[in-house]
Chains A and B, each alone.
Chain A
Amino acid sequence: MNGNAVFRTNLIVIPIALIGLLVSFLCVIPKISLYKIFPILGNGLNETFFSGITNIYAFCGISYIYFLMPLLKDKNDFSKISYIGFAISSIYLLLAIASVLLSLSDAYVIEEISDMYLLIRSVEFGRFFQRPDALFFFIWVLSLMAYVTTILFLITFIFKKISNTSDRTPMIYAFAIILFVASLLPANMAQVRFLDNVIAKYVVITIIFIFVPIILILANLKYKKINLNNSTKGEISNDLSI
C-alpha cells in the first residue's frame, strides 16, 4: 500500500463526507429544538462532569495526530496541521452531536452511526427526492473505506518500524485479513457496543492521556540527559585540547 494512494483517496472522500454531514445538519435544522438541552445539568452535576468525563473519548481522533510527524514532508507544518485538523474535527463532531441530540427523541440509543442514519431517514427533499438515506449510506461506506485504509496504513507503518523490515507489502494482506476476521468475531451488536464503549474507550483514553504523556516526559528527560552528557564531554575535550 502506497501512502500517497491512501492520502489521495482521503483527499477525495473526506470533503464529500464533510459536505454530506453539513447538508444533513442543514436538513434537520427545522427539526431541531433548543429546548432539548434542558434540564441543563442532565442527570446531575456528578453524572455530567465527573462520571461523564470519559465521554472525552469522543475526541479519540486526536490520537492520530501522534502518528503524523514522521509522515510529514515539512516537519514545521505539524502544529498548523494539527490545529486545523483538530478544529475541523471538533466543528463536525459538534454538528453531528447537535443534530442528533437536539432533534431525535430520547428513545433512540445514542451511537455514532445509527442515529445519524435514523435522522436522515426522516428527512425528505421535497416530494421528488424522498430517500436521502441511500446517499448517506453511500457516503458513510466511502468514509469507512477511507478510515480503514488509513488505519491499515498506520498499522503497517508502525509494524515496519518495529520489525525493521524493508518491504511492507506482504504485511498489508496479513493485517487486512486479521482486521476482517476480527470484525467478524463479535456475535451481536451488544458485543460491538461493549468493545467500543468500554474496551476501546478506556484503552484510547489511557493511551492518549496517560501513556503518551509518560513517553513524552521520559523522552524529554532522555533528550536532556544526552544533551547534558554531550555538553560535558565537549567541555572536557575542550579542556584537554587546551
Chain B
Amino acid sequence: MTYQFRKIISLFFIISITIFSLVVSYNEDNIDNLAYVVALGIDVSENNNLKLTFQLSTSQDSGSEGGSSSQSDTSTLTTIEAASIDSGINLLNSYLSKKVNMSHCKVLVFSEELASRGISREVFTLMNDIEVRPTSNVIICRCNAEYFLKSSKPVLEKLSARYYEIAPSSSEYTGYTENITLGMFFDALNDDTRECSAILGGVNNGEIKASNATIPNSERDSSYKANETSITNATNIENMGLAVFSGDKIVGELNGIETICHLIITNKMEKCNITIANPFDEDNIMDLGLTARKKPKINVELINGTPYISLDVFLDATIYSIDQDANLLDNENIKIIEKYANSYMSDQLYRYLYRTSKVLKSDISGFGKYVTKDFLVLKDWKEYNWLANYQNSFFDVNVDINVQSGHLLMST
C-alpha cells in the first residue's frame, strides 16, 4: 500500500465520520424538532399526583414584532397530571408533535400547597436532569402554579423566556426578593449549616389587602409580599419577598423589608430603598437609598450551648426625598438622619432575626457556618444539630449607616 493511497483512505474516513456525525445531529436534536419549555409549574392535583404545567415557547416567539405581547401569542400552556416530572414529560412527548426540551427552562414554579408537603423529590429529580439548568429560578407561588403561569403576561418584553430571565434580577436594585436558582436551593437543601429560601411569587389583581391598611405609611411600601402590592394594572405575576423553608417544607414568608434584611446579612444586597419617618417632620417620610459599605461582620459564639449571634452592619445611604427647607450640608442634620436610619434598620434587623429564629425556626441566613469552627470533628457537629438549636439564638445587632448626601440638591 503506497503512502499516497493510505493518505486518501485516511482522508476518506475522516470526511465520512464528520459528515455522518453532522447528519445525525441534524436529524435528532434540531431546533425544528424540539419544543422548548420556558417555565414549568408544579402543583398538587386532586388525586394527590403532580399537576405539571408546561409553558412552551411557540414559533411566533421569535417572529413577533412590535408592542407588548400577551401570554397567548408568545407561548402556550399545557397541563398534565402525572405521578412524577419525568412521566409527565413522557406523556407530553406522546401528545406533542415535537420532543420536549427543558434546556431553556428559566423558571420552576412550585405551588405553596406542594411546598408545604415538601419538594425535595422534585428538586433532586430536576437537578438530576441534564437538560434543566441549575441557574433556573425557583419560585414558590401563593396561588396554584397553573394560574401563576396563565397570568404571566410580559409587559415590556416580547419573549417569555427573556421576561423570566430578567424579572428576578430586579432584586439587584429593589432588594425586595433574591435571585434564587435551583442550584442554590439544592445546595441549601443539602447543607446542615443553613435552610433554604425561594422567591415568593403571586398574581396581582390590583386589590389592596385590608391587612396593609393598618401599617404606618412609612413602612407600608416595604411590608408587601407577592400579590399584595398596590400596583393597579391588568392581572399579572409579581415576585416580592421570600419563601422560608425548614428542610424541604415551606414554613413562612418574608415581606419586602424582611427580604432586604436577609440580603444585608447574607451580603447579597446591592442596592435598595427604605422609607423612614422624617426626623425633622414626624408627619412626613424620608426615602434613603442603601448600599453595602463593607461585608457585615458576623460572630457566633456558643454560650452553654446557646448561640449568641453578634452582627455588625455597615451601610452607606443616599437621601432621595428632600423637602423645601432641607439642609443636607449641615453636619448636625446628617447626624440626626443617621441616628434615625440606624435605629430603623436595627429594629428591622432584630425583627427579622427573631422572626426567623423564634417564629419560623429556620436559619436561612446561614449563621451555622460561623459555628462550625468551634467543632473539631463532623460527628460532634452533627450531634449538636445547629438547625434545631438556631431557635434558641440571641442576637446583638449594631448598625452603622453613613449618610453621604442628597443626590443633586443639598440645601434648599
Is B135 a contact partner of A40 (Cβ separation < 8 A)?
no
Measured CB to CB, the closest approach of chain B to A64, in angstroms, equals 29
Q: Which among A41, A42, A104 is the interface contact of B187 at CB below 8 angstroms?
A: A104
Complex Cα gap A118–B381 (Å)? 27
Q: Mark B361-404, 1 if CB is under 8 A from A, else 0.
A: 00000000110110111111100000000000000000000000
CB atoms of B135 and A124 under 8 A apart: yes
- CB of B190 closer than 8 Å to a CB of A: yes
Complex contact B373–A38 (CB within 8 A): yes
Cα–Cα, bound, A104→B133 (Å): 16
Instruction: Tell me if B183 is interfacial: C-beta within 8 Å of chain A.
Output: yes
Contact B375 A38 (CB under 8 A): yes
Nearest chain B CB to A162 CB, angstrom units? 28
User: A101-122 toward B: CB 8 Å interface, digit per residue (1/0)?
Assistant: 0001111000000000010011
Interface check B206, CB cutoff 8 A: no
A-B pairs with CB below 8 Å: how many?
56
- List B contacts of A209 (CB < 8 A): none
Once A35-B370, A121-B133, A122-B135 are accepted as A-B contacts, the answer to whether A41 and B190 lie under 8 Å apart by CB is no
Chain B interface size range:
20 to 34
Question: In the complex where A38-B372, A130-B135 touch, is A107 in contact with B377 (Cβ < 8 A)?
Answer: no
Q: Decide if B376 touches A122 in the complex (CB within 8 Å).
A: no
Please tell me which one of the listed residues B186, B372, B377 contacts residue A43 in the complex, with CB atoms under 8 A apart: B377
Tell me which residues across on chain B come within 8 A of A130, comparing CB atoms: 133, 135
Least distance between A136 CB and chain B CB atoms (Å): 14
Q: Assess whether B376 is in contact with A40, with CB atoms less than 8 Å apart.
A: yes
| Alpha-carbon gap, A225 to B183, bound state (A) | 64
Assembled-state Cα–Cα distance A35/B377 (Å): 14
A105/B190 in contact, CB under 8 A: yes
Which residues does chain B contribute within 8 Å of A124, judged by CB atoms? Answer: 135
A230 within 8 A of B: no
Name the residue of chain B whose CB is nearest to the CB of A108.
Answer: B190
A35 to B, closest residue via Cβ: B369
Contact B372 A39 (CB under 8 A): yes
Q: Is A54 an interface residue (CB 8 A)?
A: no
Q: Which residues of B contact A40 (CB under 8 A)?
A: 373, 376
CB atoms of A39 and B134 under 8 A apart: no
B113 contacts partner chain A, Cβ-Cβ < 8 Å: no
List A contacts of B312 (CB < 8 A).
none
| Known A-B contacts A121-B133, A121-B134; A39 and B376 likewise in contact (beta carbons under 8 Å) | yes
Docked Cα-Cα span, A154 to B61, in Å, equals: 55
The interface residues of chain B lying within 8 Å CB-to-CB of A118 are 134
Tell me whether A33 is interfacial, beta carbon within 8 Å: yes
B373-A44 in contact (CB<8A): no
When the two chains form their complex, are residues A39 and B381 in contact, meaning their CB atoms are under 8 A apart?
yes
Task: Contact check, A105 vs B134: say whether CB atoms are below 8 A apart.
Answer: no
Q: Which residues of A from 120 to 143 have beta carbons under 8 Å from B?
A: 121-122, 124, 127, 130
- Is A35 a contact of B191 with CB atoms below 8 Å? no
Contacts A38-B372, A121-B134, A130-B135 hold; do A107 and B380 have CB atoms under 8 A apart? no
Selected from B183, B372, B376, the residue in CB contact (under 8 A) with A35 is B372
Q: Given A39-B372, A105-B191, A122-B135, does the pair A44, B183 have CB atoms closer than 8 Å?
A: no
Closest CB of chain A to B159's CB: distance in Å? 13
- State how many angstroms separate the Cβ of B173 from the closest Cβ of chain A: 16
* Most B-side CB within 10 Å, residue of A39, A41, A105, A130: A39
Given the known inter-chain contacts A104-B187, A107-B186, please indicate yes or no for A41 contacting B377, CB distance below 8 A.
yes
- Which B residues touch A43, using CB under 8 A? 377-379
On chain A, the residues within 8 Å of B191 by CB distance are 105-106
Contact with A along B314-334 (1 / 0, CB 8 A): 000000000000000000000
Which of chain B's residues have a CB closer than 8 A to the CB of A122?
A: 134-135, 181, 183
- Please tell me if the beta carbons of B370 and A41 are within 8 angstroms of each other in the complex: no
The answer to whether the Cβ of B219 comes within 8 Å of any Cβ in the partner chain is no
* Of listed B189, B190, B378, residue having the most chain A CB within 10 A: B378
Q: Which residue in B187, B377, B380 is a CB contact (below 8 Å) of A105?
A: B187
Does B165 lie at the interface of the complex (its beta carbon under 8 Å from any beta carbon of A)? Answer: yes
A165 to chain B, nearest CB (A): 21
Which residues does chain A contribute within 8 Å of B377, judged by CB atoms?
Answer: 39, 41-45
Of residues 181 to 214 in A, which have CB atoms within 8 Å of B's CB atoms? none
Q: How far is the CA of A130 from the CA of B57 in the complex (A)?
A: 19
Please provide the chain A residues from 131 to 159 with a CB less than 8 Å away from any CB of chain B in the complex: none
Closest Cβ neighbor of B130 among chain A residues: A121
List 5 A-B pairs, Cβ < 8 Å: A35-B369, A39-B375, A105-B188, A107-B186, A122-B181
List of 6 A-B pairs having minimum Cβ-Cβ separation, nearest first: A107-B190, A38-B372, A35-B369, A122-B183, A105-B190, A39-B375
